């Protein structure tokens, strides 16, 4: 994820307010899945790559929705960007995540990078660098659940669940059932 996110165990969250709940997230993901299919003109050559952690779960959910519509599976995996980040020396050490690709790789595919929150654009830049080392896709597009603005790089999402104008003092926290036993997007701070 790009930007500030706290885990479900990071102290008091009394001042958080929900901006999306489970039904909103479900509708947004269904819409994004249809947008991806329409733009790609079907599921052929599609590869959804989630950026760990929550982007991986969102990519899987999108792949499931596309399969429901098309009646056949779409390739899905994950792309760890840890070693490609430009802020490694500024943040505490973190474990390297997993990159999981289909056997035929990324060459000639329409790759949809999936993340939970788009903020500065630095995570997406790292993902593009990582992807470049893995092969040559036909096209690369970006799907995010939340775009909160404040870009530092010329990056934009092709598919957005919710545009959420924020101040830099605010924190967006995405909770997903797979990691947090709840689906919600929470906004905190800005006082």
pLDDT digits 0-9 by tens, 93-137 = 667 778 999 999 999 999 999 999 999 999 999 999 999 999 999
pLDDT higher than threshold 70 for residue 86: yes
| Residues facing 20 on adjacent strands | 185
Entry pTM: 0.90
In which band, very low, low, confident or very high, does the pLDDT at 12 lie, cut at 50, 70 and 90?
low
3 state SS of 86: coil
Q: Please identify which residue in the block is written with the tokens 């899987």.
A: 60
CA gap 73, 183 in Å, rounded: 24
The pLDDT tens digits for 133-153 are 999 999 999 999 999 999 999
In which band, very low, low, confident or very high, does the pLDDT at 13 lie, cut at 50, 70 and 90?
low
65 dihedral zone (left: phi>0; alpha: psi -120 to 50; beta)? alpha
Domains of the chain: 22-167 (3.40.50.2020)
- Residue-level pLDDT at 158: 99
- Residue-level pLDDT at 6: 40
Higher pLDDT, 88 or 64: 64
pLDDT higher than threshold 70 for residue 7: no
Instruction: Starting at the earlier edge strand, list the strands of the sheet with 110-118.
Output: 75-78, 46-50, 110-118, 139-147, 159-163
- Residue-level pLDDT at 94: 66
């Amino acid at each position: 994820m790009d930007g500030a996110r706290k885990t479900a165990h990071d102290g008091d969250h009394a001042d958080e307010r929900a901006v999306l709940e489970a039904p909103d997230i479900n509708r947004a993901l269904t819409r994004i899945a249809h947008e991806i299919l329409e733009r790609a003109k079907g599921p052929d050559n599609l590869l959804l790559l989630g950026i760990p952690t929550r982007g991986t779960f969102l990519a899987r959910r999108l792949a499931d929705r596309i399969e429901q519509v098309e009646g056949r599976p779409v390739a899905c995996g994950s792309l760890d960007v840890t070693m490609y980040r430009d802020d490694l020396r500024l943040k505490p050490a973190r474990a390297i995540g997993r990159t999981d690709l289909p056997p035929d790789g990324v060459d000639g595919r329409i790759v949809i990078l999936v993340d939970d929150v788009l903020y500065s654009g630095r995570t997406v830049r790292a993902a593009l660098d990582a992807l470049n080392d893995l092969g040559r896709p036909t096209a690369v597009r970006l799907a995010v659940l939340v775009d909160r603005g404040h870009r530092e790089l010329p990056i934009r999402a092709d598919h957005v669940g919710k545009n959420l104008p924020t101040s830099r003092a605010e924190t967006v926290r995405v909770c997903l059932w797979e990691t947090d036993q709840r689906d919600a997007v929470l906004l905190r701070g800005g006082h």
